[in-house]
């Protein structure tokens, strides 16, 4: 996994996260709405009410954001999360769809505060998170 998040990107992500946390419920709805719009087949992987799932996504994001500068501390839990996702039917390509849907949701919720440099910072952070989860899934599949 060689996804790089620069110090400046870490700062941007961490500075914006309190606003994202404040908007976590609408962002969750926007995220899942977009996810299911882009890939309707993913809908079957989730319960009808995705509210609890949204809270789980925010909890995982919180752990990553708080530890971006020492990512190795969350790496084992992200790999384990990726391994659990294999059991739900998640495939490698789903991570790209989820990353795009999350970026779209952040943009819709934050509007002008989600400017290009901020979006690039979040893309790097989400891709680093997804890479760790994909690594975990690959390790499970090799075992």
Per residue in 101-123, pLDDT tens? 999 999 999 999 999 999 999 99
Q: What pLDDT was estimated at residue 106?
A: 98
7-142: which CATH number, 1.10.260.40, 1.20.58.1610, 1.10.10.10, 1.10.490.10? 1.10.490.10
Rounded to two decimals, the pTM is: 0.94
- pLDDT for res 3: 80
Domain definitions of the chain by residue range: 7-142
In the chain, where does DSSP find H-type helix?
Answer: 7-22, 24-38, 51-66, 75-87, 92-110, 116-142
């Amino acid at each position: 996994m060689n996804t790089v998040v620069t110090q400046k990107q870490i700062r941007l992500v961490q500075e914006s996260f309190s606003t994202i946390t404040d908007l976590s419920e609408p962002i969750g709805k926007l995220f899942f709405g977009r996810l299911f719009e882009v890939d309707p087949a993913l809908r079957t992987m989730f319960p009808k009410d995705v509210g609890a799932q949204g809270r789980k996504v925010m909890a995982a994001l919180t752990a990553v954001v708080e530890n971006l500068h020492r990512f190795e501390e969350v790496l084992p839990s992200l790999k384990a999360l990726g391994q659990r996702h294999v059991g739900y039917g998640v495939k490698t390509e789903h991570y790209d769809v989820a990353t795009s849907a999350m970026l779209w949701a952040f943009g819709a919720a934050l509007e002008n505060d989600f400017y290009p440099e901020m979006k690039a910072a979040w893309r790097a952070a989400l891709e680093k998170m997804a890479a760790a989860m994909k690594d975990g899934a690959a390790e499970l599949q090799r075992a």
